[in-house]
Amino acid sequence: MSAITTEEVARLAALARLDLAPDELEYLAGQLAVITEAVAVVSEAAGGNVPPTSHPIPLVNVFREDVVEPSLPQEVVLGQAPASEAGQFKVPRIMREEP
């Protein structure tokens, strides 16, 4: 794999709207070259007979069953709130309405 040039890093930085100094471009070019070489090595290690996976160990769902249970009456819940209105919690407005 060819080395990543500072011009390529500068182009990517411009696309991402990043303002990088020349020394940062050189540093990142070296870092990106190391990363692409590591990806190439991993790509070689995973042959065609290895299926792509998101996790090396099979995962199982550990959540409990969703069981409907009776909840507290609305009056009890709203009775513990600092303020309520029309059967709902009343809270201070945090955003202004746009004109």
Residue 31 sits in a domain whose CATH number is 1.10.20
Q: Say what the pLDDT of residue 31 is.
A: 93
**Integer-rounded Cα radius of gyration of the chain:** 28
Domain count, the chain: 1
Distance in angstroms (rounded) separating the CA atoms of residues 4 and 36: 9
Q: With respect to residue 28, please indicate whether it lies within any of the assigned structural domains.
A: yes
Domain that holds residue 13: 6-45
Strands 88-89 and 84-85: antiparallel
Distance in angstroms (rounded) separating the CA atoms of residues 51 and 95: 49
**Residue ranges in the chain modelled with pLDDT below 70:** 1-2, 46, 97-99
Tokens of 80: 């513990």
The residue ranges of DSSP E strands in the chain, in sequence order, are 84-85, 88-89
Average pLDDT, the chain: 87
Q: Say what the pLDDT of residue 2 is.
A: 65
Q: With respect to residue 84, please indicate whether it lies within any of the assigned structural domains.
A: no
